[in-house]
Structures are given as structure tokens and as C-alpha cells.
Amino acid sequence: MAASSTEPKTNGPNGRYNGNGRINGVEGKSPFLIGVAGGTASGKSTVCKRIMEKLGQVDVDNAQRQVVSISQDSFYRELTPSDKAKADRGQYNFDHPDAFNEDLIFQTLKDILAGKKCDIPVYDYKTNSRCEGQFTTIYPADVVLFEGILVFYFPEIRDLFHMKLFVDTDSDTRLARRVPRDINERGRDLEQVLNQYMNYVKPAFEEFCLPNNNHASGLFRTSAYNANPSSL
Ligand SMILES: Nc1ncnc2c1ncn2[C@@H]1O[C@H](COP(=O)(O)OP(=O)(O)O)[C@@H](O)[C@H]1O
Ligand SMILES: O=c1ccn([C@@H]2O[C@H](COP(=O)(O)O)[C@@H](O)[C@H]2O)c(=O)[nH]1
């Protein structure tokens, strides 16, 4: 979901952002923050993309967007060389809460809520690491969507959301989506995807993700039957 960084654009055509934490003349205007959780390949980023499309936000310049979407995956911790070697073999647990930089997520969301401009790391699933020196600039917006497998896991982070949505998709559908996605888009082979799923993804989903769906105020149900994501 992450896009490449763009140069800060101040005093844009409609004058919304002046580069100084002010939107439409209001200092530090706080956005409506929506958490979107769900298992891997449940459709979280697709749901967020559809919301952005429906609200006509996709083709809008970064600095002028009223709705922005951020992925929790941008906040994976930097790996040590030995963890990196494990990750390259599909033997690192990216689904455990410890894999995420919880403090950085919290501070970033606090800054966003304070109406500040933030730089979000760009993540590369092919190398299991951040793209060095690349950031997506998030400008103050009216609505911010924050999506990821464990966005409701950390109580301090969970409490920041004004609305919590859970994308509820059955496990076999999610696995059927994850296999081709990880092979085609994330540079994996079938054996690695299935081993990672059985050893880490599935157990962590059951322990850390699923129990927190009770915090959600709304559910998106997607299944193999609505195979056309544009119908969401
Ligand atoms: N409703 C849907 N029907 C069919 N395929 C979908 C649907 N939602 C998402 N997908 C596909 O499933 C894969 C995972 O979706 P994605 O939105 O990336 O999930 P997540 O962000 O939860 O990991 C993608 O290839 C996406 O195109
Ligand atoms: O380097 C990485 C980072 C993450 N993963 C897997 O990605 C999913 C989370 O992303 P979704 O888009 O929600 O599926 C998580 O299950 C990790 O296992 C990875 O494989 N490699």
C-alpha cells in the first residue's frame, strides 16, 4: 500500500495544507482515525483502497488528500543479520507482535492526531526490510485509515482509534489469496509460503489477531463468493 515519497507540496491549489500543521486555517486539526484489522489477505488494503476510490481520493495529490491510508507493515522492526537470514528462509515470525515497532506506531499516530505531517517508512516484502531512505509523507487529512494484522493488539494504540473495523474473511479464502499474492508480488515460492503460513501466520492469527476482533465496531465480510473486489 505504501507509495513513494513525494516532495512536500505547500499552499496547494485549494490551500488546504500550508506545510505548518494547519489545514484550512485550523491549527493541528485532528483527523478521524479508523483502525482496520483482519487476518493476512483478508482484504484490508483492498477495503481501504475501495474507500479511497469511492471518495475520489486516489488520483489526488498526496498533500491534498482528505483521506489517507497507512499500513502497519511500514512499521516492521529492522532485522538483525541473523534474523534477516531466517526471514530469507521463511523462518522469521512476522506475525508476532514483537515484529512491529510498537513505539514508532504509537508516536506516529499521536503525531497524526496532532495534525502533524509525518514520514512513514516504505517497506519491501521482497527483501523483508525497509527501503533505505524512502518514506511516504502523510499530510494532515480529515480521515486516516490505519490497516494491519495487529492494529487492535496493542491497547495503547487500539485506544487511539475513533472507529475500529475488522475485515472478516474465512481462513481458506485468505490462504487461497495469500499463496498467489506472495508468489507473484512478494517473491516467494510455494513451499516457503505454506511453511510460513503453517508455522507462524496461522498460529499467530489465532493467538493475537482473532481474539481482538471483539474490539471492532464494524465487520466487513468478504469471501470467495464476492470474488470481484470492486463489489466491496
Ligand atoms: N473481495 C475480494 N475478492 C477477491 N479477491 C480479493 C478480495 N479482496 C482482496 N482480494 C485479493 O486478495 C489479495 C489480498 O488482498 P489484500 O487487500 O492485499 O489483503 P490484506 O491487506 O488483508 O493482506 C489481493 O491479491 C487482493 O487483490
Ligand atoms: O517481510 C515480511 C513482512 C510481512 N510478511 C507477512 O505479511 C503479512 C502481513 O501483511 P498482509 O498484507 O496483512 O498479509 C504477515 O502475515 C506476514 O507474515 C512477510 O511475509 N514478510
Q: pLDDT tens digits, residue range 177-224?
A: 999 999 999 999 999 999 999 999 999 999 999 999 888 887 777 655
Question: Nearest ligand to the C-alpha of residue 174?
Answer: 1
pLDDT of residue 177: 97
| Nearest ligand 1 atom to alpha carbon 47 | 17
The residues pairing with 118 across neighbouring beta strands, listed in sequence order, are 138
Q: Over 80: is that where the pLDDT of 10 sits?
A: no
Of residues 31, 42, 50, the one with CA closest to residue 141: 31
Question: Nearest ligand to the C-alpha of residue 185?
Answer: 1
CA of 28 to the centre of ligand 2 (A): 33
pLDDT of residue 196: 96
Distance (Å, whole) CA 178 – CA 207: 19
Question: pLDDT class for 88, splitting at 50, 70, 90?
Answer: confident
- Out of 48, 149, 189, give the residue to mutate to test ligand 2, the one with the largest number of ligand atoms within 8 Å of its CB: 149
Of residues 120, 90, 116, the one with CA closest to residue 105: 120
Q: Is the CB of 181 under 6 A from ligand 1?
A: yes
Q: What is the mean pLDDT of residues 37-52?
A: 95
Q: Ligand 2 pocket: which residues have CB below 6 Å? A: 40-41, 44, 73, 76, 94-95, 125, 128, 149, 201
CA of 181 to the centre of ligand 2 (A): 11
pLDDT of residue 89: 85
Write phi, then psi, for 20 (nearest 5 degrees). -135, 30
Q: Over 80: is that where the pLDDT of 19 sits?
A: no
pLDDT of residue 222: 67
Q: Over 80: is that where the pLDDT of 225 sits?
A: no
- Out of 69, 177, 230, 232, give the residue to mutate to test ligand 1, the one with the largest number of ligand atoms within 8 Å of its CB: 177
Distance (Å, whole) CA 166 – CA 80: 32
pLDDT of residue 1: 39
Question: Nearest ligand to the C-alpha of residue 128?
Answer: 2
The residues pairing with 218 across neighbouring beta strands, listed in sequence order, are 165
Q: Is the CB of 223 under 6 A from ligand 1?
A: no
Q: Over 90: is that where the pLDDT of 229 sits?
A: no
Q: What is the mean pLDDT of residues 165-170?
A: 94
If one compares 64 and 5, the residue with the highest pLDDT of the two is 64
